[in-house]
Structure 1
Amino acid sequence: MAAELSTTININEPRWDQSTFVGRAKHFFTVTDPRNVLLTNEQLSQAHRIITDYKGVVSPGLTEDELWRAKYVFDSAFHPDTGEKMILIGRMSAQVPMNMTITGCMMTFYTTPAVLFWQWINQSFNAIVNYTNRSGDAPITVQLGAAYVSATTGAVATALGLNALTKHVSPLIGRFVPFAAVAAANCINIPLMRQELKHGIPITDENDNRLGESTKAAQQAISQVVVSRILMASPGMIPPFLMNHLEKKAFLKKFPWMSAPIQVSLVGFLVFATPLCCALFPQKSISVSRLEPELQQKIRASHPGVERVYFNKGL
């Protein structure tokens, strides 16, 4: 008869050591697994039930591997701070298929109408992702609408401006315009869409006791997310060289409609770039001495032994 699963496994933390890049990479390869997009509501509910029950009762016959699988299914669909089920295309597991499609099309179609359309699609998608993966429990406000309009305007202006500048140079250079536009939009969209810079990120001690909200922690979190997102889009730098070569061949001259599917397929590097870039920075930790002075005083008065605090950086 199999021994009952221990109740001492800490499923509030990832399975692998998050102080190392390798541990974080293993974690995010699981979190961003595109196969999680195909999970049914019944499978999500089952994972939710296993994780909720495990805090008090171990499901009969449950193994450790099944518990961790349930945890990652649960984490892929439910927000870590609010517990709400996230919109499907906003989940990190949808990042690879969605970005492959959008990035491939942005690099294939770059006439003025196409730039307007695909940058709008991209920023609409980014707005959903940024809000879905925000840290803390900030509500929807008018500022989110302003962020969406600002990011879309910035991306379109960057793309159209660079398109105009590259009309008289090699077509290869023009293919890099979408990457520059996406990078510019991320610098606008993420800080505005995630309102922690205004309200602060909830911070806790190691026992998950809430100690307050910190804008300093928010600045660290958002700057790291911006860097990760720009690097995440970097596979878009590779297909232009390949496509520039392929379009001179007889196959694409005979079947030009194949250009878009091939371009989308080439952006498949995102399968690796997405989790690896998410893993660049530790998810949640900051020294008390780096917080705003008034919050430092509050923490040292109420929790004198606390030297590090924790938060959800968001993705």
Structure 2
Amino acid sequence: MAHSDQLVATLPVRPNIERPRWDQSTFWGRAKHFFTITNPANLLCTGAQLDEAKKVVEDYRHDKVAPSLTMDELWRAKHVYDSAYHPDTKEKMVLIGRMSAQVPMNMVITGCMMTFYKTTPAVVFWQWMNQSFNAIVNYTNRSGEKPIPTSQLFTSYCCATGGALAAALGLNSVVKSAPPLIGRFVPWAAVATANAINIPMMRSREIQDGITVVDENGEKLGQSQAVARRAISQVVVSRICMATPGMMIPPFIMNYLDTKPWFKQRPMLGAPIQVGLVGFFLVFATPLCCALFPQISSVSVTQLEPELQEKIARRPNPPTVVYYNKGL
């Protein structure tokens, strides 16, 4: 294995930068990959730094390598490039729609959602803000091969916002007579409900048409609706798990602080403390929950639809396992 400070030009076999740097068959390898993708420090890169990273990556793809380029510099350029440029269109993505913006944006929106959860206007505003941000992220990271129609984005946005508001306002009215701590979990229930609505709707085309399955060499074998249902279920679980630590642990801390006289005398501390707590948990939960399932997943051919199984069986040397991109 090449050392991180080794010069790329001297390597007998150069790394394939089209694949993640770490082994994606292990949880820790996937976690390292997603820690680099979701790293908020990537947002601080200047336009010149992004242009330089793009140049390094595009030159490398055309077999042009600067003599002084090290392994670490190559991978750093690739990670910066991936954080800012769309993989299909190659265009620079809007800042708040990038994966590296997930932690800072979500910590502010979720922290405020959990601080101002008691009044109806505040619930409506922050749930709307949350779904608006999700819509921007979904649009920014849309597939360039099969772009999501604007009408589908809008329908998904309206249904997710409606579902989140119905859950938040409905549960708020139910828990009015419950202990204060119970009320603090309402935002989590609303976010979980919105994810369960939004993600399947955003990917309804995949549910109808199926996800492309390929062999180990990347050759397309067909479309599978069974794989689509499996992939989308895994994404929903990951997204709900991602939100859970930052929305389930801080309520206990805030409820404890509410009993302290010094905290009661300083109500303005509520929002910044809540935002900080949510941010702390999101820094770890976002990459670790993205890593729960491999993005390029595998499934036995026997678990596919009968017609697709027959189609694959007719091939020379048919594979017993197929692969697919689960999505994020």
Q: TM-score, normalised by structure 2?
A: 0.88
- Which residue of 173, 176, 191 maps to 1:182? 191
Question: 1:239·1:266 contact (CA, 8 Å) conserved in 2?
Answer: yes
Given that 2:7 and 2:71 are in contact with CA atoms closer than 8 Å, whether structure 1 keeps it comes out as no
| CA distance in structure 2 between the aligned counterparts of 1:136 and 1:31, rounded to whole angstroms | 19
| Aligned residue number for residue 86 of structure 1 | 93
Report deviation, 1:216. 2.5
Write the distance in 1 (CA, Å) between the matches of 2:142 and 2:322: 18
Larger mean Cα displacement after TM superposition, 51-60 or 14-23: 51-60
Q: Output the amino acid matched with 1:215.
A: Q
Q: What is the correspondence of 1:204-283 to structure 2 with a 5 Å cutoff?
A: 204-235=214-245, 236-267=247-278, 268-283=280-295
1:137 paired residue among 132, 145, 149 = 145
Instruction: Tell me by how many angstroms 1:295 deviates.
Output: 3.3
Check if 1:163 corresponds to 2:172: yes
1:2 CA drift (Å): 6.0
C-alpha displacement at 1:206, in angstroms?
A: 3.1
- Deviation readout 1:147-203 (Å, 9 max, x if unpaired): 111110000000000000111111111110000000011000011112322333333
| The 10-residue stretch of structure 1 (262-271 or 141-150) with the greater mean CA deviation from structure 2 | 141-150
Structure 1 residue 215, shift from structure 2 partner:
2.5
CA distance in 1, matches of 2:314, 2:127: 49
Pairwise CA distance, 1:231: 0.6
Query: 1:26: Cα distance to partner?
Result: 1.0
- Counting only pairs closer than 5 Å after superposition, residues 1-315 of structure 1 correspond to structure 2 as 4-6=9-11, 8-60=14-66, 61-110=68-117, 111-133=119-141, 137-141=145-149, 142-194=151-203, 195-235=205-245, 236-267=247-278, 268-286=280-298, 287-302=300-315, 304-315=317-328
Q: Is the 8 A contact 1:5 1:63 kept in 2?
A: no
- Which 5+ residue runs of structure 2 have no aligned equivalent? 1-5
- Matched position secondary structure for 1:58: coil
**TM-score (normalizing by structure 1):** 0.91
| 1:121 CA displacement | 0.6
Task: Give distance in 2, aligned partners of 1:183 and 1:251.
Answer: 33
Distance 1:148 1:163, change over 3 A: same
Q: Equivalent pairs: percent with the same residue?
A: 64
- Matched position secondary structure for 1:4: helix
- In structure 2, relative to structure 1, the CA distance for the partners of 1:219 and 1:40 (3 Å cut) is farther
Deviations 1:47-98 (A, max 9, x none): 2222222123232121111111112112222344554443322222111111
- Closer/same/farther in 2, CA of residues 127 and 108 from structure 1, 3 Å limit: same
Give the counterpart letter for 2:319 in structure 1: V
Opposite residue 273 of structure 2, the aligned amino acid is: I
Answer with 305-314 or 115-124: which moved more.
305-314
Tell me how far 1:204 sits from its aligned partner: 3.3
Partner letter of residue 313 of structure 1? K
* 1:190-245 Cα deviation digits (max 9, x unpaired): 11112322333333333334444333222222111100110101121011111111
**Which has the higher mean CA deviation after the structures are superposed, 93-102 or 208-217?**
208-217
Q: Which secondary structure does the structure 1 equivalent of 2:325 belong to?
A: coil
Cα distance change on mapping 1:217 and 1:136 into 2, 3 Å: farther
Distance 2:127 2:105 in 1: 14
Contact conserved, 2:7 with 2:70, CA < 8 A, in 1? no
Aligned pair in 2 of structure 1 residues 133, 3: CA closer, same or farther (>3 Å)?
Answer: closer
Measure, in 2, the Cα distance between the counterparts of 1:13 and 1:69. 14
C-alpha change, 1:40 and 1:288, in structure 2 (3 Å) is: farther
Query: Contact 1:5–1:58 at 8 Å: present in 2 too?
Result: no
Across the aligned residues of Structure 1 and Structure 2, the Cα RMSD in angstroms comes to: 2.2
Distance, in Å, in 2 between the alignment partners of 1:190 and 1:36 is 26
